[in-house]
Structure 1
Amino acid sequence: MFRKLLLLISAAFVIASCSQQTKEYTIAFYNVENLFDTINHPEKWDDDFTPEGKLKFNGERYQDKLEKLARVLSSIDTLRLPSIIGLCEIENKKVIEDLCKQETLFEGNYGIAHSESPDKRGIDCALIYKKEDFKYLKHKAINIQFPWEPNYKTRDILHVEGIIGTDTVHVFVNHWPSRRGGLEKSEKNRVFVAEQLKSAVDGIQTKNPAANIIIMGDFNDEPTNKSVSQTLNAGNNQNSSNPSYLYNLVYNMDTKGEGTYNYRGNWNMLDNLIVSNSLLNEKNGIHTSFDAGKIFKEEWICYKNKKGILVPSRTYGGPNYYGGYSDHFPVYFKISE
C-alpha cells in the first residue's frame, strides 16, 4: 500500500513538473547573400544571377546554396528548428519555398510571409515561421519613398503580426540602404528608414504600450550609429521600467568588438535584434533576457582570411565563385513561455 502511494506521488510530481516546463522558441535572422533563382526576370537587375550571366549562376550552384543555407538555419538550435526566421536578400517567394523544401528544414512545415519590394536589384525581405509555434495573423509592407530622391527604390520593411503561445507579437524584418558612397553620405537614407520604422512602432505602442515587438534585420548600421541609437531610440538600458522602451540584444556584443560582417578586417555589427521592454518582463507571458542575443558563427561556415581571422564564408566575392554560405553571420535569440 505504502509503495503504491509513493508511486502515485512520484507520478503526480512528474506530471506537475512536465506541465510547468518552459517552452522555448528560437527567433533568428539571416542575410543570405543574394539568394536568386537562375531565371532572368526582365523587370529586375538579376542578369548576373543566370547561367549566361557573369556569375554563371546555374542550377547546380543554386541547389548547393539552398542546401548550405538550410544547413545553417537548421543548426542554430540543436534541439529543434527555429520558430521564426527573418530573411533578407531573397529574390522572390519561389526561392523561399525552395529553401523550406530542403531536407534539413522540411519537417519545420514553415509558412511564408513575403511581399515583392520595388528594389531594382530584385531583393526582398521575408519571414518564415513554424505553423505549430507561430499563428500567423497578417502582414503588410512598409514602402520607403525618399523625398529627395523619388526614383531611388529600396527594400520595404515587412511587418508581420502573429501569436506565440497566447501572446500577440509584431515582427519587423528590415534591410536598410547600403553604405555605398560612404558612411556619412549614405547615413541620411538609413535615418529616414529608421523614422518610418519608428513611426510604425509608435503607432502600435500608442494603442498598447505593452505590445510585444521584435525588430530584426540587416540595418547596414551598427547599434551605436545615429539611425539605430537615436532615431529608432534602441539602446541597452537595462533599468528602464517603460514597457515601450526598445532594447538592442546585440548592443553589448558590438561594444566588445564582435560583429556579423567583416569589412577589410574590421567587424561590423550590421545585423540587429531589437525587442520591446515588454518582452523582458518574466512575469508577463512570453519573455526573453537582456543577454539573449547570439551570433551563429560555427567554424564550418567560416573562411580563414589572410590575417588568420575566421570570417563568414561567402558565395561570391565580386565575380569569383567561392561556394560558401553567406557574407553575414546569422543572429538569433530565444523566447520563453
Structure 2
Amino acid sequence: MFKKLLLLISVALVLFSCSEQKKEYTLAFYNVENLFDTINHPVKWDDDFTPEGKLKYSTQRYGDKLEKLSKVLSSIDTLSLPTVIGLCEIENRLVIEDLCKEDALIAGNYKIAHTESPDKRGIDCALIYKSDDFKYLNHEAIGIQFPWEPDYTTRDILHVEGILGKKDTVHIFVNHWPSRRGGQEKSEKNRVFVAEQLRKSVDKIQDKNPMAKIIIMGDFNDEPNNISVTKSLQANNAKTAENTEELHNLMYDLFEAGQGSYNYRGDWNMLDHLIVSKSLIGNKNGLSTTYGSGNLFTEEWICYKNKNGVLVPSRTYGGPNYYGGYSDHFPVYFKITE
C-alpha cells in the first residue's frame, strides 16, 4: 500500500511539473546577404544577380544559397524551429516562399509578412512565423523619405502585429537601416532619421498602452552605442525597470564584451540588434525574457578563417568572387517564455 502511495505521489508530481513547465519561443533575425532570384526585373538593380550578370548567379547557386540559409535557421534552436524570423536583404516574396519550402524549414509551415520596399537595389525586409504559435493580426510598411534628399530611397520598416503564444499581443519591427557608404560620420544622419521614425511608431503604441510588448530587430548598420540607437531610438542596456517605456538592447552587453555580428577588415561590429520593451523583461504574467537573453549564432561550419586565423561569417560573394558561403552576417536570436 505504501509503495502504491509513493507511486501515485510521484506520478502527480511529474504531471504537476509538466503542467507548470513554461512554453518557450525562439525569435531570430538574419541578414541573409542578397537573397535574389535569378530573374531580371527591369525596375530593380538586380542585373548582377542573373545567370548572364557579372556574378554569374545561376539556378544552381540560388538553390545552394537557399539550402544553406535554411540549414542555418533550422539549427538556431535544436529543439524546435524558431517561432519568428526577421529577414533582410531579400528581393521579393518569391524568394521567401522558396526558402520556406526548403526541407530544413518546411515542418515550420511558415507564413509570410512582407511588403515591397522602394529600395532601388530591390531588397526588402520580411517576417516569417509559425502560425501555430503566432497569430498574425496585421502588418504595415513604415516608409522613409529624407527631407534633405527626397529622391533617395531606402528600405521600409516592417511593422507586424500578432499574438505570440496564448494571449499576448506583440509588435515586431523588422529593420534594415541605410548603409555606411561614404563613411560612418557622413551617412549617420540617415540612420538617425530612420531611428527617429521608428521611435515615433513605438511612442504611438506606448501612448495607448505603456505596457505594450514591443520587439525590434534588424541590421542597423550602427553599433549599440551609436547615437541613432541610444539617443534617437532610446535603446540601451540599463538594467532598471523604473521607466516601462524604455527599450533594452539585448545585444549591447555582447557588444561591450567585444563580440559582433559582422566582421569588417578584421574588426567586429554589432550591426544586428534585438531590442525589447521593458514590459517583456522579467514579466511574471505572460511573455517574458531576460536582460542577458541576446545571442549570436556562430557555429564554426558557417564561418571561414581569415588571414589572422579568426573565424568570421562565410559569405556568398566577395565583390565579383563567388565563395559559396552562407551570409556575411551572423544571425542573432533570443528566447521568450510564457
Q: Same fold (TM over 0.5)?
A: yes
How many Å separate the matches in 1 of 2:5 and 2:310?
61
Matched residue, 1:143:
143
Cα deviation, residue 7, structure 1: 3.0
Q: Could you give the per-residue CA deviations for residues 187-238 of structure 1, whole angstroms, max 9, x where no partner exists?
A: 0000000000000000000000000000000000010001001110100110
Structure 2: tracts of 5 or more residues without a match: none
Matched residue, 2:163:
163
Q: Could you give the per-residue CA deviations for residues 19-69 of structure 1, whole angstroms, max 9, x where no partner exists?
A: 100111000000000000000000100000000000000100000000000
1:297 aligns with 2:298: yes
AA partner of residue 18 (structure 1): C
How many Å separate the matches in 2 of 1:82 and 1:100?
12
Matched residue, 1:53:
53
Q: Could you give the per-residue CA deviations for residues 132-174 of structure 1, whole angstroms, max 9, x where no partner exists?
A: 1111111000000111111101000000001112100000000
AA partner of residue 129 (structure 1): Y
Q: Deviation above 6 Å: which 4+ runs of structure 1?
A: none
How many Å separate the matches in 1 of 2:310 and 2:335?
28
1:290 is paired with a residue of what secondary structure?
Answer: coil
How many Å separate the matches in 2 of 1:108 and 1:129?
8
2:186 is paired with a residue of what secondary structure?
Answer: helix
Matched residue, 1:214:
215
AA partner of residue 280 (structure 1): I
Structure 1, 147-156 or 282-291: larger mean CA deviation? 282-291
Matched residue, 1:21:
21
Cα deviation, residue 96, structure 1: 0.3
How many Å separate the matches in 1 of 2:310 and 2:54?
29
Structure 1: tracts of 5 or more residues without a match: none
Q: How many residues align?
A: 337
The 5 Å alignment of 1:74-153 reads 74-153=74-153
Structure 1, 5-14 or 225-234: larger mean CA deviation? 5-14
Matched residue, 1:70:
70
How many Å separate the matches in 1 of 2:284 and 2:86?
27
AA partner of residue 110 (structure 1): Y
Matched residue, 1:331:
332
How many Å separate the matches in 2 of 1:217 and 1:284?
27
Cα deviation, residue 239, structure 1: 1.7
Q: Could you give the per-residue CA deviations for residues 278-318 of structure 1, whole angstroms, max 9, x where no partner exists?
A: 00033131100000000000000001011111110000000
AA partner of residue 186 (structure 1): S
1:103 is paired with a residue of what secondary structure?
Answer: coil
How many Å separate the matches in 2 of 1:284 and 1:243?
15
Cα deviation, residue 14, structure 1: 1.6
How many Å separate the matches in 2 of 1:283 and 1:210?
13
Q: TM-score, normalised by structure 2?
A: 0.98
1:38 aligns with 2:38: yes
Q: CA RMSD in A?
A: 0.8
2:205 is paired with a residue of what secondary structure?
Answer: helix
Cα deviation, residue 16, structure 1: 1.1
How many Å separate the matches in 2 of 1:200 and 1:264?
35
Cα deviation, residue 72, structure 1: 0.3
Matched residue, 1:317:
318
How many Å separate the matches in 2 of 1:303 and 1:6?
56
How many Å separate the matches in 1 of 2:95 and 2:123?
11
1:10 aligns with 2:10: yes
Q: TM-score, normalised by structure 1?
A: 0.99
Matched residue, 2:263:
262
How many Å separate the matches in 1 of 2:220 and 2:89?
12
AA partner of residue 161 (structure 1): E
AA partner of residue 203 (structure 1): K
2:274 is paired with a residue of what secondary structure?
Answer: strand
How many Å separate the matches in 1 of 2:285 and 2:264?
40
Cα deviation, residue 2, structure 1: 3.8
AA partner of residue 114 (structure 1): H
Structure 1, 2-11 or 55-64: larger mean CA deviation? 2-11
1:328 is paired with a residue of what secondary structure?
Answer: coil
Matched residue, 2:190:
189
Cα deviation, residue 103, structure 1: 0.4
Structure 1, 283-292 or 87-96: larger mean CA deviation? 283-292
Cα deviation, residue 6, structure 1: 3.1
AA partner of residue 138 (structure 1): N
Matched residue, 1:241:
242
Matched residue, 2:205:
204
2:104 is paired with a residue of what secondary structure?
Answer: helix
How many Å separate the matches in 2 of 1:162 and 1:94?
23
How many Å separate the matches in 2 of 1:56 and 1:219?
29
Matched residue, 2:174:
173
